[in-house]
Amino acid sequence: MRASSYRGTPAIRAKRYSSERQIEETCGFEIAEGESLHVISQGDIDSLTFLRWIVRQQKLKYCLISSWCIGADDVDEILQWIKSGRIGKCDIYVGEIFKGSYRLIWDRLCSEFHELQCGRICLFRNHSKVMSEIGDWAFTIESSANINTNPRAENTVITRGEGLYKFYKDYFDNIISFEKNFGNWTPYKDNE
């Protein structure tokens, strides 16, 4: 495997490093099939760290990300995972305010996803915070946290198993975006 790196601002790098150490100390590295981990933190583990924890364990064929909003540094990291092959296909679902309130991030995500042909960015009345993915095994991350750094108490549940993954994937595959800029999108099929 080729080495890869991500370079964010020093404060973001320090926060991510601290966040990763917290999850390793709290959760270890393994979850058995059908098992769930429940984590509550005072903002010392940001939401994307849970996905990073899984991406470090396995390459993902598909990743569904749902969040009301997403921070710019988090978009950089997600795109880096896609470009490096750590994530194959990815669909991102954001709240209806995202395009207007986070216009530069919206434009960048849409542009990069079109160029990479890796999935779609879907805008709808959304406040759910879910990440559901499949590689060698399936995981679902359900959280109160958006994908951004937030110094508040947030609860997260990580579940290993295909049942919950399929439940969320079936739901989100049927969402019709307010924006029609991914009109040729078709849902990822697990046998791709």
Alpha-carbon distance of 75 to 105, in angstroms, equals 8
Q: What is the dihedral of CA 142, 77, 162, 113, to 10 degrees?
A: 110
Alpha-carbon distance of 76 to 95, in angstroms, equals 19
Give per-residue pLDDT as tens, 54-74: 998 899 999 999 999 999 989
**What is the average per-residue pLDDT within 176-190?**
94
**What is the average per-residue pLDDT within 101-130?**
97
Alpha-carbon distance of 121 to 146, in angstroms, equals 16
* pLDDT for 122: 98
Give per-residue pLDDT as tens, 16-32: 545 666 666 666 657 88
- Domains of the chain, by residue range, sit at 33-173
Residue 171 has pLDDT above 60, yes or no: yes
Instruction: Return the number of other C-beta atoms located less than 10 Å from residue 149's C-beta.
Output: 18
* pLDDT for 25: 66
CATH fold for domain 33-173: Endonuclease; Chain A (3.30.870)
Residue 114 has pLDDT above 70, yes or no: yes
Q: pTM value?
A: 0.87
